[in-house]
Amino acid sequence: MSTTSDAPDPSIRLLTPERRPVVLGVFGLMGFIAFESFAVTTALPVVARDLDAERWYAAAFAATLTAGLVGMTVGGSWADRRGPLRPLLFGGTTFLLGVALCVIAPGMGVFVLGRLLQGIGGGIDSVVLYVIIARFVHEDVRHRMFALLTAAWLLPSLAGPLISGALVELVHWRTVFAFVLAGSALSLACLVNVVRRSPSSGTGGAVLGRRELWAAVAAVALLGLHLTGPGGGAVGIAAMAGSTVLLLVAAVALLPSGTLRARAGIPRLVALRTLLGASVTATDVHLPPYLQHVLGYTPTMSGLVVAVGALGWASGAWFQGRSTADPHAPGLLWRAGALVACGPLGAALVVGGVLPVPAAVVGCVLMGFGMGAAYPRISASVLALSPVERRGEHGSSLQISEAMGSSLLLAATGAILASSLVGGYPIVYSAATVVALCALAVALAARGDGGARRVEDGG
């Protein structure tokens, strides 16, 4: 077969007049979903203080992550079975409603409800956008569209915390969510107008299967953890224990068999991503409130620390993309895991009074570089090990497991801080460091997996 027949046609452009509304709509909607997820890291400490609900800080942050479990699971199957229009409309409207509630929230209860709706809607649409790309973007330029999607996440990771900090300081924290509301609404309207004209947009509602139901169970368990954790007491501890057991049962049903034991192959890779993501999320989430509430940093300055860490992530991803090394080389993952551990360890030494704040900044940069290098390798290895008919399932397992692990660790660390706001920070970062070291141990164990072999669920 001719090699030129498989090459992209250079005459096919991404931004043609008929394709431009789709490209701009997808980029805009994904960009504002990403902006909100990064901007809230800087704004949320001020929100919690303004609403007199600092003990609910971790719950407010994790609400979107938790509800996203259901959104991501439902969105993919709904779009596959019924077409993208209905899930796009439902997900977009739900996301906008959630952001609007955050804008007008009189108390933390309404704010958390808004964050939950954002998670459901954003989770649905983040998956549906891939279906829209497959339907409306020619395969010869599809790789350019996915590069734009990467930029839609990368740019907010760098600018989101800084812009959010500036808006909080100069205007009000509600303007951060108002900005997201206006931009998301415009992008959604643009996309809906295009998708509605498609003759194969599909009709009908979502179809809930086994995975969707177990994802809902996991979300309920995680929500229970976050609602009962800050309360403390014997009843709160018992409720947290029950929610943890329920979450583990849901994890067994949702994830590849052997994930909780980090069994060789796909389960070990899924477990590795879970541990890495949880330690990084806990490090990033708790650093801004420590800098603002304990050290007196402004929101903009605390956002700068997070943005610098994101710059490390971008550098790691760039390095990984330019590397000519074997994509399945066993040495990279454990080295990346060691770099990731520098983030929570550096923060632990800073909050413990051993090192100055710049040490935490350096640790976050190294942590970000490790994550930027590790994530593409983990995803590529999972695809290489997966049978073709199960790549979607295993790919979603990576996202679901990371969301579950991150939310679980946030619930635990949030409960620690709720019982001792200042004195709890060393314990929080010690816990995040332990999780990162567990990830390093799993990465070291992966060196002996012996190459790419397929690992089936239940195998």
Do 385 and 266 meet the contact criterion of CB atoms below 8 Å apart?
yes
Higher pLDDT, 230 or 9: 230
**CA proximity to 225, closest of 243, 237, 238:** 243
Residues whose CB is less than 8 angstroms from the CB of residue 346 and which lie 6 or more positions away in sequence, other chains included: 355, 359, 360, 362, 363, 364, 366, 367
Spatial contact of 45 and 285, defined as CB atoms under 8 Å apart: no
pLDDT of residue 134: 73
Q: How many helices (H) does the chain have, and how many strands (E)? A: 14, 0
Position 436 pLDDT exceeds 60: yes
pLDDT tens column, 244-272: 889 899 999 888 899 999 998 899 999 99
What rounded mean pLDDT belongs to the chain? 81
Q: What's residue 230's pLDDT?
A: 59
- Burial per residue of 200-222, b for 16 or more beta-carbon CB atoms within 10 angstroms, e otherwise: eebeeebeeeebbebbbbbbbbb
Rounded to whole angstroms, how far apart are CA atoms 97 and 115?
Answer: 10
pLDDT, one tens digit per residue, over 26-80 is: 888 988 988 888 888 888 888 988 998 877 877 787 788 788 888 877 876 777 6
Measured in whole angstroms, the distance separating CA 151 from the mean position of its chain's CA atoms is 15
Is 1 a residue whose pLDDT tops 90? Answer: no
Q: What is the pLDDT of residue 356?
A: 93
- Angle 228-306-271 (CA atoms, 0-180°, nearest 5)? 60
CA 25 to chain centre: 21
Alpha helices by DSSP H, 298-356: 299-322, 330-351
- Tokens describing residue 184: 């998301």
- In whole angstroms, what separates CA 404 from the centre of its chain? 10
Q: Could you report the per-residue pLDDT of 151-180, keeping only the tens digit for each?
A: 677 778 778 888 888 898 889 999 999 999
Stretch (H or E) spanning 291: none
Higher pLDDT, 73 or 455: 73
Closest Cα to residue 60, out of 300, 286, 399? 286
pLDDT > 70 fraction of the chain, expressed in percent and rounded: 80
Q: Is the pLDDT of residue 432 over 60?
A: yes
Reported confidence tier of residue 231, pLDDT bands at 50, 70, 90: low
Q: What percent of the chain is modeled with pLDDT above 90?
A: 28
Across the chain, which distance is largest between two alpha carbons, in Å?
A: 70
Q: Is the pLDDT of residue 237 over 50?
A: yes
Q: What's the rounded mean pLDDT across residues 102-120?
A: 92
> What is the pTM assigned to this prediction?
0.75
Q: pLDDT tens-digit profile of 377-424?
A: 887 788 678 776 666 577 678 878 888 898 889 888 888 887 765 568
Question: What pLDDT is attached to residue 178?
Answer: 94
pLDDT of residue 5: 45
What pLDDT, on a 0 to 100 scale, did the predictor assign at position 99? 95
343: confidence class by pLDDT, cuts 50, 70, 90: very high
Give the three-state DSSP class for 11: coil
